[in-house]
Amino acid sequence: GENVEQHPSTLSVQEGDSAVIKCTYSDSASNYFPWYKQELGKRPQLIIDIRSNVGEKKDQRIAVTLNKTAKHFSLHITETQPEDSAVYFCAALGSGNTGKLIFGQGTTLQVKP
């Protein structure tokens, strides 16, 4: 079935450094890949997304890259700040254009001041 693998499960960086989280997906028909940030005790919130017709998208300090051939996509956070500390989830839209998102297991990012 559809599957999304996310790595690493935990990531610790110094403030100002970059952080990279990687995901792979199994359904070659997937064409939409959002990233969600979840702070402790809060709901997941969309931070950036990418569609299959582009290879890269950037929004200030965050960027996402997509390699459809290899079926993987990555989140890049530059100049990390303590408030970036959270759990990050990647997701891939299941085939059939039904809106069914399959989530990765999440990455706990800790930014040390």
What are phi and psi for residue 94, nearest 5 degrees?
-65, 160
Counting contacts by CB under 8 A, is residue 34 touching other proteins? yes
Q: Which of residues 48-67 bind other proteins (CB under 8 A)?
A: 49, 51
The answer to whether 45 contacts other proteins (rule: CB under 8 A) is: yes
Q: How far is the CB of 16 from other proteins (least distance, A)?
A: 29
Cβ burial, residue 108 (10 Å; 0-12/13-18/19+): middle
Q: Is 27 in the site for other proteins (CB under 8 A)?
A: no
14: left (phi over 0), alpha (psi -120 to 50) or beta: beta
Residue of 27, 76, 103, 110 that binds other proteins (CB under 8 A): 103
Does residue 31 touch other proteins according to CB under 8 A?
A: yes
Q: Which residues contact 97 (CB under 8 A, 6 or more apart)?
A: none
Q: Which residues pair with 46 in a beta bridge?
A: 36
Task: Please report, as ranges, the residues that interact with other proteins according to CB under 8 A.
Answer: 31-32, 34, 36, 42-46, 49, 51, 89, 93, 96-106
